[in-house]
C-alpha cells in the first residue's frame, strides 16, 4: 500500500541519483544522457533521461528536469521493471515559455526504441511507436507535444 512515508522513501533514490548526475563534469553528463526533452516554442531543454548502472547487471533510467522556480524534478523512469519505486504517471517540467506534462509512457517508449531495436531492422519498424518518438529517434530528442504544453501568457 502506498502511503506518504513510502512515497518519501521511494523518492530518495531518484533524488540522490539526480544530485550525483548534476555534480558530474558536463562531458560525462552528455555521455550518460540517453535522450532529452525540448520545449516546442524555442527548443529550451526541459529535461533529460540518463542511464545509470552496469549494462551487464541493471540499468536505471532517471528523469531529471527543471521545474518552475528552479526546483528540480527526478524520478526513475523504468519503475515497472524496478519494483515500482518512484512511479509517476507523468513528469512535470517547465521553462520560461511554458509548462509541459510529459507522459511516463512516452519516456518508456523512447527507452524501448533506443535500447531494444530489432536485430534485423525492417523498413518502418518505428511505425508502431508514437509520432514524437518516430521524429526524435535519430537525434535522441523529443519535442513536447502541443497537447501536453501550456504556454505562459
- pLDDT-derived band at 25 (thresholds 50, 70, 90) equals very high
What does the pLDDT read at residue 35? Answer: 93
- Rounded Cα distance between 141 and 138, Å, is 8
H/E stretch holding 13: helix 4-22
What does the pLDDT read at residue 77? Answer: 81
- Rounded Cα distance between 19 and 102, Å, is 21
Say if residue 56's pLDDT is above 80. no
And the C-alpha cell for 111?
A: 527507452
Say if residue 84's pLDDT is above 50. no
Q: Provide the b/e sequence for 77-93 (b: ≥16 CB within 10 Å).
A: bbbeebeebbbbeebeb
Give 22-62 as a DSSP string: HTS-HHHHHHHEEEEEE-TTT--EEEEEEEEE-TTS-EEEE
pTM of the model: 0.79
Say if residue 79's pLDDT is above 80. no
Number of CB atoms found within 10 A of residue 136's CB:
21
Half-sphere exposure of 148 (CA within 13 A, CB side): 21
Select from 21, 49, 32 the least CA-distant residue to 133.
Answer: 49
Say if residue 136's pLDDT is above 60. yes
The average pLDDT across 8-18 equals: 78
- Rounded Cα distance between 114 and 136, Å, is 11
Cβ atoms of 35 and 45 closer than 8 Å? no
Cβ atoms of 66 and 47 closer than 8 Å? yes
Round the average pLDDT of the chain to a whole number and report it. 81
- Rounded Cα distance between 23 and 29, Å, is 9
The average pLDDT across 74-96 equals: 70
- pLDDT-derived band at 36 (thresholds 50, 70, 90) equals very high
Lowest mean per-residue pLDDT among 3-7, 92-96, 138-142: 3-7
The average pLDDT across 5-20 equals: 77
The average pLDDT across 1-26 equals: 77
Amino acid at each position: 500500500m502506498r502511503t506518504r512515508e513510502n512515497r518519501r522513501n521511494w523518492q530518495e533514490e531518484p533524488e540522490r541519483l539526480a544530485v550525483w548526475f548534476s555534480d558530474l563534469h558536463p562531458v560525462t553528463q552528455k555521455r550518460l544522457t540517453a535522450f532529452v526533452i525540448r520545449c516546442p516554442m524555442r527548443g529550451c531543454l526541459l529535461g533529460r533521461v540518463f542511464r545509470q548502472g552496469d549494462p551487464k547487471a541493471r540499468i536505471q533510467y532517471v528523469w531529471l528536469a527543471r521545474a518552475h522556480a528552479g526546483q528540480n524534478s527526478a524520478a526513475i523512469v523504468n519503475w515497472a521493471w524496478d519494483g515500482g519505486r518512484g512511479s509517476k504517471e507523468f513528469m512535470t517540467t517547465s521553462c520560461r515559455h511554458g509548462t509541459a506534462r510529459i507522459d511516463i509512457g512516452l519516456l518508456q517508449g523512447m527507452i524501448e526504441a533506443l535500447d531494444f531495436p530489432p536485430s534485423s531492422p525492417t523498413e518502418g519498424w518505428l511505425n508502431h511507436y508514437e509520432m514524437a518518438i518516430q521524429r526524435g529517434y535519430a537525434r535522441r530528442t523529443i519535442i513536447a507535444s502541443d497537447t501536453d504544453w501550456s504556454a505562459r501568457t
